[in-house]
Structure 1
Amino acid sequence: MIGEKVIMVRIENVTVEFQSKEASFKAVKNVNLHIQEGEVFGIVGTSGAGKSTLLRTINLLQKPTSGKVWIDEEEITDYTGKSLRSVRHTIGMIFQHFNLIHTKTVFDNVAFPMLIAGTSQETINQRVPELLALVGLSDKRDVYPSQLSGGQKQRVGIARALANSPRILLCDEPTSALDLETTNAILELLKDINRTLGITTILITHEMDVIKKICTKVAVMDQGSVVEEGEVYDIFARPKHPFTQKLVAHTLNLELPSRIVNDLKGSLIKVVYNGDKAEEPILSDVIRTFGVNINVLHGKIEYINEKPLGVLILHMDGGVTRMGEIMNYLKERTASAEVFHG
C-alpha cells in the first residue's frame, strides 16, 4: 500500500531470563514493540528496568529466552554464524562508555568495522573522512582516544557505528557519561543523522529529558515490562501508568518549598495545557470573567516535537465563592485542572 510505513524492528513476546544456581531472574518479560522505519524510538526506565537487555536482543548480543525478533520482516531470532554477521552489519551500535580501541587512532577506530566486514582499503580511505566530517572531527583523524574529550570520544563512536551504512542505529545510554552541554550537542547530532540519513534510531536512557529532546515515540519500562508506550508528546501530556506519571512529574520538577505550601491561605491548583491551548490567554480570561486574583507560583511551557505543553501551579485566594465554576471553566479549556491543596 502506498504510504504505508514499514516496521523496521518487531519484538514479539520477548522474554530474557537469567539462570543462576540459586534462582532464575527475568530481566525482560514478554515485551512486544513495533518500531517504524525512520523513527527515533526511545526506551526509558530506571536502573535495572531491563532496557539495556532488551536493546541487546535486537542485534542478538543477548539471545531471547523466548519470543521472536524481526528486522525488516525477516525473523532473525535463531540466526548464527554468517547469517547473524550479515544482519549485524546493518545495525550500528553506540555505547555508554564509548568502547574505543585506545591503541588505535581515530581514523583506525572508525575504519575497524569496515575491515571486519571485508571492505576494500580504497573504500575505507574514502569513507572514513566523510564520516569524520559528518561528526565534526575532521581535524582529529590521527589522534588517539586519550587525547579526546568525552564528547569527542562519543562522536568517534557515532562515526564508527555508521561505518557500514547501517539501517538501524542502537544507542545504549549514549549521553549518560557526558555533561549537560555535551549531551545536548550529541543529541542534536543524532537527530541530524536521523533526519538526513533516515536511519531508524533506537535509544535507551534513564532520563525523560533525553526522550523529550530527540525521540518521536517512547516505551516506558519498569521491572522488565513495558508499562506504557506511545507518542512522546502524549506520554508527557497524558501519562496513564503510575510509574510513567512519576517519571514525568520528576522531569517537570514543579515542587514548591514546604514553607510556601504551609503558609498559604486559599487553594493551589495544577493546570496542564497542551496543543494550541497552551498558547491561549486562559488565565487572563479567568481573572476577567470571575473577578479573582490568581498568582502563578511555578510553571513552564515547553515544546515537544514542536507542540506546546504547559504546566502551571496557581494560587487562588481564600474566600473564593465560585470555585466550582472556576474549576469547570479551567477543565473545559485545558487538558486538566485539579486542586491539590486547600
Structure 2
Amino acid sequence: MYRIYFRILLLALLTFSAMILASERTAIAAENVIRLAPLKAGRTRPLVAIIADNRGTETTDLIIPYGVIRSADVADVAIVSTHAGIVNLMPALKINPDTTMSEFDRDHPEGADIVIVPAMHDDSSREVIAWVRKQSSKRAMIVSICEGAWLAARAGVFDGKRATTHWYAFDKLRAAFAQTQWVHDQRYVVDGNVMSTTGVTASIPASLALVEAIAGPQQARSLAARMGVGDWNSMHDSAPFHMTTSRLWRFASNTLAFWNHETIRLPAQDGFDEIALALTADAWSRTYRSQAVIAETAKSIRSRHGLVLVPDLSSATDASVIAVPALPSARALDWTLSEIATRYGARTSDIVALQLEYPARH
C-alpha cells in the first residue's frame, strides 16, 4: 500500500515539476518575441544591414544571418563594411561587402530596419559603435551576435535592458556594463528593440526568429525544415560551457604540436551553400591544428544567395581536400564535428563545439 502511495506522490511531483518547467518556458518564449517597428516610409519589406569590420569579423556570426534571411527572401540584406575592399573573416574566409557605411548612409538616410552586429576583432571600434548608435537612433532594431555584444553595449543600446552573449565574455560584460541585466540559459534575448545571442551558433535560431517576426511562423518552419533545424526557440543550457583543465590542456597541446598542423582546402564553386560553408570552415579553423582555406583559381565565387567569396589561394598543393557535405545547411556542423573527432580526437571536437557554444557535443 505504501508503495502505491509513494508512486502516486512521485508521479504528482514529477507532473508538478513538468508544469512549472513548461510555465517557465512559456514565460521565456513570451519575453523573447520580436516585435518589429513599422517599416520606414516607401519600403515594402525590411532592410537588414549586417556590419562588417574589414580587419576581422566572425565568420559564422556574419554569414549565417545573411544566408538565413536571404534564403527566406523576406528582406533586403546588405553587408555593410567599415571601409571599401575585402572583409577578412575570422577564423576563416574572405568576402566582398555589398556597400560601406558611408555609402549606406548616403543611399539610405532614413536608416536600416534591422542592424546585425557580429563579433569583431576590434570590439572597441569607434566607427562601428558610432554607426550602431546612429542606426538605433533611427529606430533600427539592433541584433548583436555572440561577442558583438561588446560593440552594442558600448553603443549604449543595452542600457537598462536584458541581454546575453558568448559564455567566454559573459562575466566580463556583466562587470563592465552593470546597467544591463545579463541573462544565462537563453540562446537569444529580446528586449524591446534590441536582441542579443549567446555564442556563435546561436545565430541560427536567432536568424530564424527574425524570419518568423518578418514573415510569420509558417515561413520560418519551412525554412528551418530545409536547413535541418528542429526548433529555434530561445531555450539554452549555459552550464556545460566553461573552461576546464582538460580543455585548456587540449588548446595548449594542439597549439604547441605545430608539426601536426595542416591546411584544409574546402572546394567552392558558384552557387555554393554559404551557411554550410561557413559552419564547416569555422569549425575546421578552431581545432588549433588546422586552418580552412578556399583554394580556387577564380578571383571571386558567388554563393547561391549572392555572397561574394574571395579565394585565399590560387593553389594549395599541400592541403588536405575536404568537401563541404551535401546536407541540409545546419547539419554541416554536426558532420564536421564528427569528422574532426575522427581526424583529431573527441577532445579536439569538444573544444571546437565549446568555442561555437554548440550543445550537440555536451
TM-score after normalising by structure 2? 0.27
TM-score after normalising by structure 1? 0.28
Greater Rg by CA:
1
More strand per residue: 1
